Amino acid sequence: MPLPAGVYRADHVGSFLRPKPILSAREQLDSRHITQEELRKVEDEHIATVVQQQIENGMQSVTDGEFRRAWFHIDFLQHLAGVERHGSVSSTNVTSHGVTPPKIIVAGKLGHPKPIQVDDFRFIERQVSASKAAAGIKHTITTKVCIPSPTMVHFRGGRDAISTEVYPTLEPFFEDLVRVYQQEIADLYAAGCRFVQLDDTNLAYLCDEGMRSEAAKRHGEDPQKLTKQYADLINRTISQRPKDMIIGIHLCRGNFRSQWFAEGGYEPVAETLFKELDVDVYFLEYDDARSGDFSPLRFLPENKIVVLGVMSSKKAALDDKEDIIRRLKEAAQYCPRGLDQLCLSHQCGFSSTKEGNDLTEEEQWAKVRLEVEIAKEVWGADLSV
């Protein structure tokens, strides 16, 4: 059985280390020394470069590196009507650097006044075409758009972060949330996008006993019920996608400057995740013991793919090639179709926030090249089958 279009044996989650000129330009924007338009010009220049670098280093799935974002989720969600960005979230999700993400408040009726990612997608497409032409590349390169899962609007703040005046009950809130995501996905499809990845920390956080307890208190319901509610929310969100649009979901337990925030195997969510969630491919964090063993993969249906994140984007040192191959083969024992249902990636991106993980750009690309090398050794030279 071939891989879904846009999924590759050597794949990646989406973000790359931000070049220093982008970080500097963001600081200048914050201090009002440059405009948003001037920042975008700097981003454009370096996105063109990172697209070319991904292709040169063997990637066939290409993103903008999330260079236009400071936080993987906030910079998308704040463009929805009704969503406001405030201060920092109050929870255990705090780094040892003393940094917490801004919190989002649903202060008005949710709306989608204009496409959020379409212009960014079109820009990447132009860079992909230019890079392919310059290098004489004939094989397919897929532009992947990464957006935060709709669960990110609900999980961290819960009922307290959603206006009771606008939404006295939560059913209309979820209906509007589904609607605005459907509109964004439809806009992306109309622009030519055929691969969307939903980035979801919350289903992974619901594998952590401490965070399950927190969620039960915050949401006033059993975490297992919340897991099913989130699966239904995501399914409704993607229910109108055309048949030739592939949807992936990435589960992450935190990725800020090489740190993590949650731990625990996928067992508490696995049956719902694999049997009820209507996505085509899963990007799963599996780089160390925090993610548990591979046994939850026994729930994987025969028609779905897992991009197994057994390599680490958090460490500067290269992964051990033989150990990665061993772990891939171990995971394959739980899959109905074995290695045929697996691909390889790092457990998360290299820079889920603008700060990035603790490694250099040179070390980042060395890791990408090693991943491609391993994938070719395990599956063969053609990474698309």
CATH 3.40.50.720 fits 43-68+116-158+169-379, yes or no: no
Residue 193 clears pLDDT 90, i.e. is over it: yes
Residue 259: the pLDDT is: 63
Residue 255: the pLDDT is: 64
What would the two tokens of residue 22 be?
């982008």
> In whole angstroms, what is the distance from residue 354 CA to residue 4 CA?
31
pLDDT in tens, 222-232: 888 999 999 99
If we measure between CA atoms, which residue out of 94, 75, 221, 224 comes closest to residue 152?
Answer: 75
Residue 262: the pLDDT is: 63
Lowest mean pLDDT among 111-125, 282-296, 318-332: 282-296
Residue 95: the pLDDT is: 44
Residue 64 clears pLDDT 60, i.e. is over it: yes
Where are the chain's structural domains? 43-68+116-158+169-379
pLDDT in tens, 262-314: 667 899 999 999 999 999 999 999 988 778 999 999 999 999 999 999 999 98
Long-range contacts of 19-22, Cβ-Cβ distance < 8 Å, separation of 24 or more: 19/46, 19/49, 19/67, 19/361, 21/45, 21/46, 22/46, 22/67, 22/354
What would the two tokens of residue 318 be?
């290269």
Name which residue leads in pLDDT, 115 or 355. 115
pLDDT in tens, 144-163: 999 999 999 998 788 999 99
Confidence of residue 241 (pLDDT cuts 50, 70, 90): very high
